[in-house]
Amino acid sequence: MKFDAPVIGILRGVDQAFFGELLPVAFIAGLTAIEVTMNTEGAAAMIREYRPAVPPGRWLGMGTIRNLEEARQAVEAGAMFLVTPNCDPAVIAYANSEQVPIVAGALTPTEVYAAWAAGADMVKVFPCGSLGGPQYIRDLRGPFDRLPLAAVGGVTLHNLAEYFAAGANAVGVATSLFGGKALREKNLQELGQNVKNFMDHYRKASDTV
């Protein structure tokens, strides 16, 4: 199955009960993919419990997959896609063998190409904001005009359109998407509105590309 998610919502440190409430709210608000980081307490249990509740056309995956053992744990829990912060060919090969889409982390041009050559479905440019944000994506697009790139790290509502104009195929976003205050206070109504607002901005940005 082709992984098609232009905005990936990243959740780190969320508790399991709140995650169960958050998931349908975020999907209803228009988000297509949610990534729970592996270093969130009980992450595998969250995936295992709530994977059956994911509606058609939506994705629930695991991120911060740093090695092969974590990749195996994620797949066994039912993760629909994997996201890594680093480029590990063994992890990419395992995901491919299990037919689970993988967004593999890279930063330098050499790492970006290595991740793609190893079989990543998409390359996560991370931390993108530290190397110039949209301009860095634009620079990578020179030699890598056809590689699918996901910008992660430093993406906000204010520079979202710039990232897509620069050539990003997707973005990974945490508090700028859900809202730090809404997450802290577990305010589902505010959280849903934040996600809807972000996705509205994405649609406007994609229409101009």
Task: Quick: pLDDT tens for 16-46.
Answer: 999 999 999 999 999 999 999 999 999 999 9
Domain residue spans of the chain: 7-207
Residue 197: the pLDDT is: 97
Active site residue 2: no
The four Cα atoms 68, 39, 201, 57 give a dihedral, to 10 degrees, of 50
Catalytic, out of 2, 69, 124, 186: 124
d(CA 32, CA 34): 7
Gyration radius of the chain's alpha carbons: 16
Catalytic, out of 2, 21, 35, 185: 35
* Residue 77: closest CA among 99, 61, 94, 65: 61
CATH superfamily for domain 7-207: Aldolase class I (3.20.20.70)
Residue 171: the pLDDT is: 98
What whole-number percentage of the chain has pLDDT above 70?
99
Active site residue 35: yes
Structure confidence by residue, pLDDT tens digits, 96-140 = 999 999 999 999 999 999 999 999 999 999 999 999 999 999 999
**pTM beyond 0.85:** yes
Residue 134: the pLDDT is: 97
Burial zone of 32 (CB within 10 Å; 0-12 exposed, 13-18 middle, 19+ buried): middle
